[in-house]
Structure 1
Amino acid sequence: MNTPITDPQSIRILPEYTHKVVTVDFTTNEDYDLWFATVASKHATFGLKNTRETGTGIANRPVVSHYFVCDHAGLPRKNETSTPENKRRKTLKPSIKVNCLAKFVKHVYENVAVKMVYHWIHNNYDSCQMEDIVSSRLPLELRNWIIDCVDRHMNLKSIKSLLRLNIDQLDELDGNIGGGRFPPSLIIKQQDVVNIVNDKLNKMSRKHAIDRLSVKKWLDDLQSKNHHTFLFEQENGSFVVAWYSKWQKELLEGALDWCIDSTHQTCKSMTNPDHYCYLYTIVVRSPFTNKGVPVAFMLSSNEIIPLLVKWLQNIKDSNNLNVARIMIDCSTAEIGAIRQVFGGVDILLCHWHIKRAWDVNVKKHIKGGDKYETKALQDGARICIDGMMEATSLNQFDDLWTSFEATYQDDFTAFYTYFRDLWYNRKELWSKAYRQDAPFHTNNLIESYHNQLKTHYLGRKSQNRMDRTIYLLSQVMYADYRLEAAQVFYKVKPFPLSKVEKLARNRAEEVDENAAYSMIVKINEEISWKLYSCKSFTNNEVVYHVVISPNGYILSCSCPVISGICKHMFLVSKIKVIPYYANRSTPAAPLPVVAPDLASPTSPLVSLSTEPTPTNNTISNTEFHDKVAVLGRNMLRSIGDAERRVVGDDLLMDDLCDKIKSSLNLIDTVGDRRLYSSRQL
């Protein structure tokens, strides 16, 4: 729009015609377009109803005729009724159809001339009244304004900010709406924006009018772009639609820990629009962002073991997997499918979901004489079963189970039977005593992904077709995850650390640099993976091993810390100038697939010599510049810290200045061929 959308202007202008039917001749189509924008569109909202071609070669006959009618033309549907009483929300609004007879015909001739026959009088409603303007369809000019905003990737929140009137405009507006002049933003409703966004999404996601055929076209399109796709259908309507990209495949193969979960009622089924389908996702921790990232998607008609087996077996057969643990909620179907496909993989049940299920049964079965006694008994039951979950050894778990039996077997038989039959027999799936090597105990990675999915992509709506869900997952959300990884990779965004990891990094920073150099030794192994030994921070006789991946970043450590980046990894990163995450200073190679079998701290590797072994110190120019940049930042930070410590003490300030000068003199001698031979550089 030429004028701001919040400025008062004439939305409706009454034509100054004297006859009911007006005929206007235009020499070109551009002249007609100008008339349509300044006269017809300003009078009412017209829509194209029909087009008729008469052919060429007939004198004084138009080549094509376009028939436009007012949006209030016609009568309401006869079968239209009010909202059923059993519905909570009003879904049917009064029709705007009032049998308006206003219309016009556009005749286009062979010499590009245009004749317009305009029946401009509207009956049964006043097109210039505010209530009738609001009830009409959005004027073409405003609709085009919204389309332009959507094409510029503006969301509803940003569009609403453009429509918002300031206080001065509101003061001017009060009691001053008349003659059809008012801010156009007043008549733009949220649903108008939603409708245009949905229309654009439909155009981008629908490859066919029939959802099932559109889904197949999407799979063909993804496969042509190096995605792995899988389609399984049965005559009874059951189906599996799955896919993942080449980028996701590398993350999938390199991950030791998976999280698998499903979202219910994600979208309509492609075989029966009256049914919903399930979205299953595998989420792993990204080495680029330290966050959860989806690496495989599956849309299924049912949440049953056979369909899950089809999907997981296809993933297993198509990849070189290294998965060791899979975190799920309490789904028996997922447990059965994982055991059938990945027999040797540890299954971990999410502690949050387990505690939620326990709490329901504690409230159901544990009752006392009054509410105070009931609360005390229920709190005691929670402490008892939570203790079994948090047990650190098998003996501790057995002792807690014995105490649980003695307390609840006779007095609360129903609760004891529930816990024994459903949970005690599967204790290795949820007790920390049986899963001491588990890096996490909740599926927060995938729950966070689900929240992002429903909030920012699916819009918490379950009425979408499957093809739109595939479009949003494979084209929009997937691109966002890759973009974030690229931003961290190229150091545009910092690598996010958890609170525990930040504490570990601070511990590593506190170690004296000279002592740190003596703690770290490179081990010369005949494998592509570099290996460093790092002494314990508290016991010099204990040595851990830090693995450097072929890609050039720190991968893991053999210390007891089983989740995230430990202080030994931070120390090696600081001293050896090796990144602890994948970034642009690492080779652009696929993620590691097979990890070396490292010994524990009690293995013979601990007694290896602490003398550094000869290694090839050749580095690329990129690696050299990155190392110099890191060391330069560390030096500036050290100088700044020292300056704050010595300020006010003349002797210490002079000593610091002398040491900085000595360091600068040493740096100046590097590369001076009068002092070193070329082989020593």
Structure 2
Amino acid sequence: MQPHKPRATSRSKPAGDYLKLQPRPRTRHSRTIRSGLDWYPCCTDIHDFVPLPLAYLAPPTPGFDFNPNSLRYVRDVSCNPPDFGDRHPLRITLPKKAGIENELVFAMCTSSRWVTKGRRFNGTLHLPSGEVKAPKPPASNKRGPKRMHLWTEIYNCNASGNPCTQKKSTLTELARQSSGSIKVQCPACFLLKKTLTGKMEFEWYWKHENHNPFSVEDMRNMHMPQVVKSWLNDRILEGLTWRTIQRLLRCPDLFPDEHRTLSVIPKALRVTYANFRNVVRNASKSIQRLDPSIIPSLMKWCQRLTDRGYSVHNDIRPSHKRIQIGLISPWQRQQLLLHGKGVICFDSTHNVCNNIPEWPTVKLMLLTLIIRNPVTSSGVPVA
């Protein structure tokens, strides 16, 4: 005879004595619900939190006759860096105004030097040069956060990044730069974000590390302010030489006595011949190229010369890797009609350009028509 089996419970558990545990009381934690306005409070004026410009125009001495093109910018080194206490980063919603982001960037760049890599649209990076970099393809099983912004633009401190320690093996010890790198891994930056609803958000990490942007050492080591660089660029575009620009920089009687202190330093002391040389090189590139790409730049140059009265023959075929451009100015056309009845010479210069990125193996040549000048008996290019 088999023993009696206990009946199973409703949950198929063996019958017996069980210890009944009391449920643990749940404590509800009060969570503060914050809206977007709490994280990014609105402001009415951006100058309430933007620091004062480092370089400003000093008033001239009354009755002193000076050159209006002289550099009158000075820098006050007695200012302190901004301090917002526990508000780091500083988050603010900008007022609704057309071009408010450009006004904010201009105000921030007058107080310190910031560098941007471009504006990012939904992961696609638009560089200031016009180049577009597509985002990396995401993984198939990767899920990201919901998109909240239409575009984002990041401005890093000029001293951000790792210091450059690489040295060229071709340079001698005397030719090496002894000033060192300006990169000190500064984490300061600010972000501009445009939401899908049209609001403009500003996020500023204002704490500078490993350097003080308001000190004399920073003025000596860092790049020139944008206002001083613009002044130097304007003088170069006017055709002034370095000797003439030096006369505009050396104005000992330009600043009044109250500005001749240790805390206020003229920005003219920062401008050197190396700055002049770099601006000349960059200005020549910006004038020569109307577009970052070679082919569109040549097309724009042909159109500009045609508008100025030049006779232009344009035959650019990118598919055949062929460029053929001929031009005659109005003065050359006049000289050709007056003195071109005699001997006409043909001159050619080979390999004048072989650095086209689109066609790395193509070499160009320059062909010139020359006639004899009856006054100087020398050659005159007419085409």
When normalised by structure 2's length, the TM-score is 0.54
Q: What is the root-mean-square deviation in Å for CA atoms of aligned residues?
A: 5.2
The alpha-carbon deviation at position 103 of structure 1 amounts to: 0.5
The reply on whether 1:65 has 2:152 as its aligned counterpart is yes
The alpha-carbon deviation at position 68 of structure 1 amounts to: 0.9
Name 1:135's counterpart in structure 2: 221
Whole-angstrom CA distance in 2 between matches of 1:246 and 1:268: 26
The alpha-carbon deviation at position 104 of structure 1 amounts to: 1.0
The reply on whether 1:285 has 2:356 as its aligned counterpart is no
The reply on whether 1:244 has 2:328 as its aligned counterpart is yes
Partner letter of residue 113 of structure 2? Answer: T
The alpha-carbon deviation at position 64 of structure 1 amounts to: 3.0
| Cα distance change of structure 1 residues 278 and 51 upon mapping to structure 2, 3 Å threshold | closer
Q: Report the secondary structure of 1:167's partner residue.
A: coil
User: Between Structure 1 and Structure 2, whose CA radius of gyration is higher?
Assistant: 1
Q: Report the secondary structure of 2:57's partner residue.
A: coil
- Conserved in 2, the CA contact under 8 Å of 1:262 and 1:280? yes
The reply on whether 1:18 has 2:85 as its aligned counterpart is yes
| Cα distance change of structure 1 residues 112 and 197 upon mapping to structure 2, 3 Å threshold | farther
| Cα distance change of structure 1 residues 263 and 131 upon mapping to structure 2, 3 Å threshold | farther
Q: Report the secondary structure of 2:231's partner residue.
A: helix
The reply on whether 1:188 has 2:271 as its aligned counterpart is yes
- Conserved in 2, the CA contact under 8 Å of 1:15 and 1:43? no
- Conserved in 1, the CA contact under 8 Å of 2:310 and 2:328? no
Alignment of 1:19-418 (within 5 A): 19=86, 20-29=88-97, 36-38=105-107, 40-53=108-121, 61-76=148-163, 80-82=166-168, 84-85=170-171, 90=176, 94-109=180-195, 113-149=199-235, 153-157=238-242, 160=245, 163-168=248-253, 176-178=261-263, 181-207=264-290, 209=292, 211=294, 214-215=297-298, 218=301, 226-227=310-311, 229=313, 243-255=327-339, 256=342, 268-270=353-355, 282=370, 284-285=372-373, 294-296=380-382
The reply on whether 1:9 has 2:93 as its aligned counterpart is no
Whole-angstrom CA distance in 1 between matches of 2:258 and 2:365: 49
Q: Deviations along 1:163-190, whole A, 9 cap, x unmatched?
A: 4122346997999443xx2112222334
Name 1:388's counterpart in structure 2: none
Partner letter of residue 48 of structure 1? Answer: T
Q: Report the secondary structure of 1:52's partner residue.
A: strand
Larger fraction in helix: 1
Percent identity over paired residues: 16
Q: Report the secondary structure of 2:153's partner residue.
A: strand
- Conserved in 2, the CA contact under 8 Å of 1:48 and 1:68? yes
Whole-angstrom CA distance in 2 between matches of 1:293 and 1:128: 59
Name 1:492's counterpart in structure 2: none
The alpha-carbon deviation at position 250 of structure 1 amounts to: 3.1
Whole-angstrom CA distance in 2 between matches of 1:133 and 1:226: 48
Partner letter of residue 72 of structure 2? Answer: T
| Cα distance change of structure 1 residues 283 and 18 upon mapping to structure 2, 3 Å threshold | farther
Whole-angstrom CA distance in 2 between matches of 1:208 and 1:36: 24
Q: Which has the higher contact order (CA 8 A, sep 6+)?
A: 2
Partner letter of residue 164 of structure 1? Answer: L
| Cα distance change of structure 1 residues 243 and 188 upon mapping to structure 2, 3 Å threshold | same
The alpha-carbon deviation at position 97 of structure 1 amounts to: 1.9
The alpha-carbon deviation at position 243 of structure 1 amounts to: 3.8
The alpha-carbon deviation at position 193 of structure 1 amounts to: 4.4
Larger fraction in strand: 2
Q: Report the secondary structure of 1:186's partner residue.
A: helix
